[in-house]
Amino acid sequence: MSETFFTSRWVERPRRLLDSSEIPAGFRLAGIACGVKDSAPAALDLGLVLCDVAGTVSAARFCDSGVLAAPVVVTRERCDLHGIRAVVANSGNANAATGEAGIEQAVAVQKAAAAALRLDPREVAVASTGVIGVLLPGERIAAAVPDLVGALERDPTNFAHAIRTTDVLDKHVALKVDLPSGSINLSAQCKGAGMISPRFATMLCFVQTDAALDAHTAELLLGVTVKRSFDRISVDGQLSTNDTVILMASGASGVWVEPESEDELRFGEALDALLRQLALRIAADGEGARRIGRVHVRGAGSETVAHVARSVANSPLVKTALFGGDPNWGRVAQAIGAALPGSAPLRFDIAIEGVTVARDGAAVEHDAAALAAAVARDEVLYEIDLEGSGAEAELFFSDLSYDYVKINAEYTT
Amino acid sequence: MSETFFTSRWVERPRRLLDSSEIPAGFRLAGIACGVKDSAPAALDLGLVLCDVAGTVSAARFCDSGVLAAPVVVTRERCDLHGIRAVVANSGNANAATGEAGIEQAVAVQKAAAAALRLDPREVAVASTGVIGVLLPGERIAAAVPDLVGALERDPTNFAHAIRTTDVLDKHVALKVDLPSGSINLSAQCKGAGMISPRFATMLCFVQTDAALDAHTAELLLGVTVKRSFDRISVDGQLSTNDTVILMASGASGVWVEPESEDELRFGEALDALLRQLALRIAADGEGARRIGRVHVRGAGSETVAHVARSVANSPLVKTALFGGDPNWGRVAQAIGAALPGSAPLRFDIAIEGVTVARDGAAVEHDAAALAAAVARDEVLYEIDLEGSGAEAELFFSDLSYDYVKINAEYTT
């Protein structure tokens, strides 16, 4: 599992990773077709994650768009975010820009699932991905909840498929990690990439563990690891209305992750590697993507370095050059300048895969053949040094290909 | 001329537009091949605009990237921007990110042209467009200056070609306008689109008139009209390192444009229409572009409305939908939300070509057939109303097509 999952040189593998494909104890998942996606044959479009253990500890993160989808609003405002026992997620409809009616439909789904699972509605999160501006068929989903509950199983495959839109790469995994106090399991199911999937997408990620965490630790670790993973990818620079990441810890392994212990450090490493590799897989699955880039900016001022990193990662010129394997570093220089208007003359160094192409803002002689070979690899590193020091920012990004245009232009409503 | 030039419904034609294709009195232009572009057969790549009248009044505008090209720095810092008599412009090399050596090459070109034309170097502007990070062959250009001067003519065609990179649409025009005090001529040659042309581009625009303006009027009118034209287009959201707009007024018509007169109003209208149509032509010439959009945002706070307009105009999802003729307005809602993080729930209305698709942030019933027909037109209007009033912003943008990816990915260095 770890051999095929941890493929990027930019992810440090957790120590003591054991081979396993078991999902953590205490969890079951389901995925069924209920007709939200209008396709024939019927596609899986409704999923459920359930923790059978009372006292589950959870943490959640959402996007901060000004246009938040109804399921994000409902989960954020009507759930106990540290006590989520179940998540109902659908694809095919984002339930965003749907107003009060959209909220009502999301609440109807939440209530139906809570009733069927005998949980408090505050323990049931909802998540959606799909077209924006179309009301979610909440009654249809509510009516399908008994079937959904009946489909609960220890195999995450159907659930993982039910939350997918046009994802091509598989994005679910189960890992076993040997912590000092004992072995624990981690699993995650993830979909999408930025706003890149057709019609709209979103990234959804659900993480389960049988480690025992307190709410503060879950919150802390999810916060840090999301910042180092899903917050650092750009497919098309488009903030979604629906992004949701939920971590649930059943504690069923009996391994207690004490705050500030070696166990916490190791668990955090494993969660970090897991989310980071999933995030890279999202970037690599950016529609039609051929290769992914990593931009790493050093300088003074955390806002400045973050802004430059985003400008490079989101530049369609840098992305098309990456797609074409074109060593045209001038596009990187352009993106740096565009990020910091009014600051000329900027001093900056640029190195691509270790080949320095610009120093102090000006071109330098370099080995063109080495550079051309480097930019044709699957992963390309762009290092930018601005003046000053003390701050750094990193982003992973997909290239921009014909297929991105095709999928987003030719999919008509 | 005006029949074939003013093609957009978003440009108000100047009153009393007379048919003419004469360039204004006092000007000559030239375009030759000097080998900056490495192509066979040799392509035109060096141009010159000259005003033969002493006391020419000029005004200029540049981009404000943190990475400013050497010709921009040289023109901005070493020219009398209100007394420019000549402009030397090359394509094939942007002379950006080239450091002190790049400045020296640009100065060498400026000095060679000044000597050949018997002008003060401060009267000679330089402009470049092409690849970034490669030193301009200034000596080669300086050596070609006598040929360039010898090629001066009253026909702007060669000059207009010499500043083009991959522009497909013609972007030069000559107009005659009847002001209350007499007829004046205006001509302009323009190239590029944002950072969209291959390798890099830039927009360059050179405008000539035989009206007599004072420096203050030239400055004022160019400032206002550039804000309503070239500042309002997005092909790929990429700020260039080299953008340059220069207006030169010879006064040779003998028609004096008095500040705050009806003449000034009419001249301003004509300049506005001219630059606006050229800007729209740049957007329409965005690589591979099929149609152009106009986003118009109303609300409170000029920064807020400008930010939302830019988010919509630069969104690759909105652009691919425009390319595909897809009425997927959810992508507009997503871009609005992304522009204003943390502000949920946002209230906004969206109308596309007059069809209201969202009100108060939520979808409303609409005529889907009318909308589908509307988004298949050459020009598509997106109107967004945010809460509050008093501010508005407008941007024109090209779609995102296969050819954008092709031109930018497959052109290898």
Q: How far is A162 from chain B (nearest CA, A)?
A: 22
Question: How many degrees, rounded to 5, is the angle at CA A290 between CA A289 and CA A294?
Answer: 85
Q: Which of residues 69-98 of B touch A (CB under 8 A)?
A: 73, 94, 96-98
Q: Which of residues 295-334 of B touch A (CB under 8 A)?
A: 315-317, 320-321, 323-331, 333-334
d(CA A343, CA B327): 40
pLDDT at residue B36, rounded to an integer: 93
Has residue B75 got a pLDDT over 90?
A: yes
Active site residues of B: 202
**% chain A with pLDDT above 70:** 93
Q: What is the mean pLDDT of residues B152-164?
A: 94
pLDDT at residue B324, rounded to an integer: 87
Q: Which of residues 327-386 of B touch A (CB under 8 A)?
A: 327-331, 333-346, 348, 357-358, 360-363
Has residue A410 got a pLDDT over 70?
A: no
**Candidates A68, A195, A405; nearest CB to B402:** A405
CATH of the domain at A74: 3.60.70.12
Active site residue A202: yes
Q: Mean pLDDT lowest for which of A153-167, A174-188, A195-209, A274-288?
A: A195-209
A411 touches chain B (CB under 8 A): yes
Q: How many CB atoms lie within 10 A of CB B266?
A: 20
d(CA A173, CA B270): 64
Residue A152 sits in the same domain as residue A37:
yes
pLDDT tens, A320-351?
889 888 888 988 998 898 889 888 889 999 99
Overall number of domains in chain A: 2
pLDDT at residue B236, rounded to an integer: 67
Q: How confident is the model at residue B287 (pLDDT cuts 50, 70, 90)?
A: low
> Coil, strand, or helix at residue B97?
coil
Q: What is the mean pLDDT of residues B290-300?
A: 92
Residue B202 sits in the same domain as residue B325:
no
B266, B284, B302 - which closes a domain: B284
Contacts with A199 from chain B: Cβ below 8 Å: 328, 330
Strand order in the sheet with A379-386: A233-234, A391-398, A292-299, A379-386, A348-352, A355-359, A362-363
**Are B183 and B267 in contact, with CB atoms under 8 Å apart?**
no
Residue range(s) defining the domain that contains residue B122: 2-284
Two tokens, residue B209: 């008139």
Residue A322 sits in the same domain as residue A233:
no
Q: How far is B323 from chain A (nearest CA, A)?
A: 6
d(CA B21, CA B174): 5
d(CA A386, CA A276): 26
Contacts with A67 from chain B: Cβ below 8 Å: 333-334, 336-338, 344, 346, 348, 361
B231, B253, B284 - which closes a domain: B284
d(CA A43, CA A55): 34
Q: Which of residues 240-259 of B touch A (CB under 8 A)?
A: 240-241
Q: What is the mean pLDDT of residues B286-303?
A: 87
Cis amide linkage into residue B180, ω under 30° from 0: no
pLDDT at residue A199, rounded to an integer: 35
**Candidates B65, B199, B342; nearest CB to A337:** B65
Has residue B412 got a pLDDT over 50?
A: no
H-helix or E-strand containing B255?
none
pLDDT at residue B156, rounded to an integer: 95
Instruction: Please report how the helices A215-227 and A262-284 are oriented relative to each other, as an axis angle in degrees rounded to 10.
Output: 40
Residue A195 sits in the same domain as residue A61:
yes
Which residue type occupies A341?
P
pLDDT at residue A273, rounded to an integer: 93
Contacts with B238 from chain A: Cβ below 8 Å: 315-317, 334-335, 338
pLDDT tens, A235-252?
666 677 888 999 999 999
Residue A220 sits in the same domain as residue A314:
no
**Are A311 and A338 in contact, with CB atoms under 8 Å apart?**
yes
pLDDT at residue B411, rounded to an integer: 52
Residue B234 sits in the same domain as residue B359:
no
Residue B243 sits in the same domain as residue B315:
no
pLDDT at residue B200, rounded to an integer: 40
Q: Which chain B residue lies closest to A369 (C-alpha atoms)?
A: B413
Residue A191 sits in the same domain as residue A307:
no
Q: What is the mean pLDDT of residues B32-50?
A: 92
Q: How confident is the model at residue A20 (pLDDT cuts 50, 70, 90)?
A: confident
pLDDT tens, B328-373?
898 899 889 888 988 888 999 999 999 999 999 999 999 999 999 9
A265, A284, A303 - which closes a domain: A284
Q: Do the chains contact at A333 and B133, CB–CB below 8 Å?
A: yes
Closest CA to B355 of B343, B341, B344, B370: B370
Residue B44 sits in the same domain as residue B163:
yes
Contacts with B239 from chain A: Cβ below 8 Å: 334, 337-338, 341
Q: Is B77 exposed, middle or buried (0-12, 13-18, 19+ CB in 10 A)?
A: exposed
**Are B244 and B127 in contact, with CB atoms under 8 Å apart?**
yes
**Are A127 and A87 in contact, with CB atoms under 8 Å apart?**
yes
**Are B129 and B191 in contact, with CB atoms under 8 Å apart?**
yes
Residue B133 sits in the same domain as residue B32:
yes
CATH of the domain at B393: 3.10.20.340
Taking the CA atoms of chain B, what radius of gyration do you get in angstroms? Answer: 22
Residue B339 sits in the same domain as residue B372:
yes
Q: What is the mean pLDDT of residues B50-71?
A: 92
Residue A314 sits in the same domain as residue A216:
no
pLDDT tens, B204-263?
999 999 999 999 999 999 999 998 888 888 766 667 788 899 999 999 999 999 999 999
Q: What is the mean pLDDT of residues A117-129?
A: 97
End-to-end CA distance of chain A: 39
